[in-house]
């Protein structure tokens, strides 16, 4: 999977509204056959549109960063842990996933979880699934705060239970506990 996809066009000022409508249609309904190149913006994690007026022409640059493949956590695997990956190539990637890459992915999902909980809502299910799955993969790495792993997984389980029962107050408490454990661990091991 590419890290980013870019579309660059030089069009006249009068063509700009039509091009922006095509982008909107591709996002809403998928790219049409006439504009198949817009397929790269479907299912994006991040989308940037840069428009500049250059000497009477309009330069448009669209950059799309795709979503990562979703990860699911199922507590029914060996040792009570199983990370179920949606496609085989991503499974190979996770088997070799470096600790630093894993932590970056966790940071992104936890940021969403933390801000959503503190705004008074339950976090998106996909963010929770990804965070829990990556948390279980993280504790398999030795030498990165092993003394905190049991406490951390217990807090993850409490958080997952709170989200599953839609108990916002318990989810908030468990989220804060996860953040506290993370802060203490990082203070000693980073």
- Residue 63's SS3 state is strand
Task: State how far the Cα of 122 lies from the Cα of 101, in Å rounded to an integer.
Answer: 26
Task: State how far the Cα of 168 lies from the Cα of 112, in Å rounded to an integer.
Answer: 15
Average pLDDT over residues 151-167: 93
pLDDT at position 68, please?
64
Average pLDDT over residues 71-79: 43
pLDDT at position 162, please?
94
pLDDT at position 57, please?
83
Name the more confident of 120 and 31.
120
Average pLDDT over residues 82-100: 50
* Highest mean pLDDT of the ranges 10-19, 25-34, 81-90: 10-19
pLDDT for residue 159 is more than 90 = yes
pLDDT at position 80, please?
39
Confidence of residue 26 (pLDDT cuts 50, 70, 90): confident
pTM above 0.75, yes or no: no
pLDDT for residue 91 is more than 80 = no
The span from the first CA to the last CA of the chain, in angstroms, equals: 30
pLDDT at position 92, please?
41
Task: State how far the Cα of 18 lies from the Cα of 39, in Å rounded to an integer.
Answer: 17
Query: Per the structure block, which two tokens stand in for 118?
Result: 């503190």
Tell me the per-residue pLDDT of 97-140, one tens digit each, with 9 for 90 and over. Answer: 688 888 888 888 899 999 999 999 999 988 899 899 999 888 88
Cβ–Cβ under 8 Å, residues 152 and 160 = no
* CA 127 remoteness from chain centre: 7
Tell me the per-residue pLDDT of 35-74, one tens digit each, with 9 for 90 and over. Answer: 766 777 777 778 888 999 877 788 989 888 877 655 544 4
71-189: CATH number: 1.20.120
Average pLDDT over residues 3-11: 83
pLDDT for residue 176 is more than 90 = yes
Domain with CATH 1.20.120 in the chain: 71-189
């Amino acid at each position: 999977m590419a890290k980013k996809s870019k579309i660059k066009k030089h069009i006249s000022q009068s063509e700009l509204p039509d091009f922006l409508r095509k982008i909107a249609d591709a996002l809403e309904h998928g790219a049409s056959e006439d504009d198949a190149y817009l397929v790269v913006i479907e299912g994006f994690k991040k989308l940037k549109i840069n428009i500049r007026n250059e000497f009477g022409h309009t330069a448009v640059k669209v950059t799309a960063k795709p979503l990562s493949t979703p990860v699911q956590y199922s507590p029914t695997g060996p040792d009570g842990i199983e990370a179920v990956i949606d496609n085989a190539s991503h499974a190979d990637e996770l088997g070799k996933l470096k600790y630093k890459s894993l932590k970056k992915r966790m940071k992104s999902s936890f940021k969403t979880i933390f801000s959503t909980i503190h705004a008074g809502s339950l976090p998106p299910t996909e963010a929770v699934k990804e965070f829990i799955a990556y948390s279980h993969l993280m504790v398999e790495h030795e030498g990165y705060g092993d003394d905190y792993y049991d406490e951390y997984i217990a807090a993850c389980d409490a958080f997952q239970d709170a989200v599953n029962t839609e108990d916002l107050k318990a989810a908030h408490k468990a989220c804060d506990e996860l953040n506290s454990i993370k802060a203490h661990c990082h203070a000693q091991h980073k």
